[in-house]
Amino acid sequence: MTIGVIGLGTMGLPIAEHLHERYGGVTGYDVSADRRAILAERGLAVTDDLQSLAANDVLVLLLPNSAIVEAVLLAPELFSALRAGTRVLDMSSSEPLRTIALAEKLRARQVTLIDAPVSGGLRGALAATLTIMVGSTPEDYTFVKGFVQPLGTAVHVGSVGSGHLLKALNNYLSATHLIATAEAMSAGRAFGLDPAVMIDVFNSSSGRSGSTQAKWPQFIAPGNYASGFSLDLMTKDLGIALDAATTLGTATEVARVIHQLWAQAQAELPAGSDHTRIAEWVDHGESGEPVAEWRE
């Protein structure tokens, strides 16, 4: 089995390495020569020729959004060269309705598109403990479940597009409890509570979440803001979740407020900020003042 990995960013590099360790035959592609060079230095094959990737049995995409996924897969040099029977795993955070439409276009060439977005961040990618949300037929899921074992655990969540929707909804919840935790921590510190005590109590009480258990102690309290997932991508995923709920006619009151807050933070924080820096924004907004006593 030969595999092409398209997108060698924060998640793409370790995923390409894990797949190569298990299967061999991995070729990486990225528009950035620097990203290709990093993978080449690690002993994997790279290419700057998109068309050449059409010869692979499986294409794995880790790209920023649906527009770029479509631009890559529908690029004439790649689309016209795709072989019948090729499987395409879109592990990006894409828009579910656009994923469904793209799957139809690829199906006309007897190419199968499977959405398989991941949760777990950079640490999960490095440790191969990702949760992979698969949107596919039951038959295609049988293949994917085995294929992604070097990366983590696959969960079949429904038909094509379902994985991308569930990923957006998961990140909506993640963004909500992170900004709520930041507000709670800010209020507690203003009163004089010890931040470490607050986190300990939250984690042994009903206020616990992925933010209190992992993001705060690992990335926010130390002040490294190095989760590996950008604020830009989180805001994009919030937009996907909000758009989906709007289209489906379900409640959006909280989602609209959360998306507005993250979009405001995105506009005010430096470009490329890690999403955990939302905690600093909650405290200081545009003031630029450093976070002090709560960094241990």
Does some domain include residue 295?
no
As a whole number of angstroms, the distance between CA 123 and CA 263 comes to 25
Which letter, b or e, does each residue of 74-101 get, where b requires 16 or more Cβ atoms within 10 Å of its Cβ?
eeeebbebbeeebbbbbbbbbbbbbbbe
The residue among 126, 159, 192 that closes a domain is: 159
Say whether both 151 and 253 belong to one domain.
no
Considering the domain architecture, whether residues 96 and 233 belong to the same structural domain is answered as no
Residue-level pLDDT at 284: 81
| % pLDDT > 90, the chain | 94
Q: Are residues 74 and 149 in the same domain?
A: yes
**Contact predicate 273/235, CB 8 Å:** no
Specify if 232 maps to a domain.
yes
167 tagged catalytic:
yes
Query: Among residues 144, 159, 174, which one ends one of the domains?
Result: 159
Partner residues linked to 274 by β-bridges: 230
Same domain, 72 and 219: no
Those residues of the chain that have pLDDT short of 50 are 286-288, 290-296
Positive or negative: CA dihedral 149, 151, 155, 158: negative
Is residue 149 domain-shared with residue 11, that is, in the same domain? yes
Q: Which of 85, 98, 82 is nearest to 140 (CA)?
A: 85
Burial classification of residue 174, based on how many CB atoms lie within 10 Å of its CB (0-12 exposed, 13-18 middle, 19 or more buried): buried
Assigned domain for 92 exists:
yes
CATH number of the domain that residue 114 is part of: 3.40.50.720
Whether 60 and 44 have beta carbons less than 8 Å apart is answered as no
* Residue 291 resides in a domain: no
| CA–CA distance, 115 with 211 (Å, rounded to integer) | 26
Instruction: Identify which of 228, 208, 207 has the alpha carbon closest to the alpha carbon of residue 219.
Output: 228
Indicate whether 253 belongs to any domain. Answer: yes
Please state, in angstroms and rounded to a whole number, the distance separating the CA atoms of residues 154 and 223. Answer: 32
Q: How many domains does the structure of the chain reveal?
A: 2
- Return d(Cα 171, Cα 162) in angstroms, integer: 14
CATH number for the domain that contains residue 199: 1.10.1040.10
- The verdict on 206 and 98 lying in the same domain is no
**Domain shared by 73 and 186, yes or no:** no
Of the residues 127, 159, 191, the one at which a domain ends: 159
Instruction: Mark whether 129 and 34 lie in a shared domain.
Output: yes
Q: Give tens-digit pLDDT for 161-214.
A: 999 999 999 999 999 999 999 999 999 999 999 999 999 999 999 999 999 999
| 37: containing domain | 3-159
Candidate list 145, 167, 215, 236, residue with the active-site label: 167
Q: Is residue 289 part of a domain?
A: no
pTM above 0.85, yes or no: yes
**Whole-number pLDDT of residue 285:** 58
Q: Could you tell me if 153 and 198 lie in one domain?
A: no
Residues 15, 77 within the same domain: yes
Residue 117 sits in the same domain as residue 242 = no
Residue 296 lies in a domain: no
The answer as to whether 293 is a domain residue is no
Same-domain check for residues 40 and 139: yes
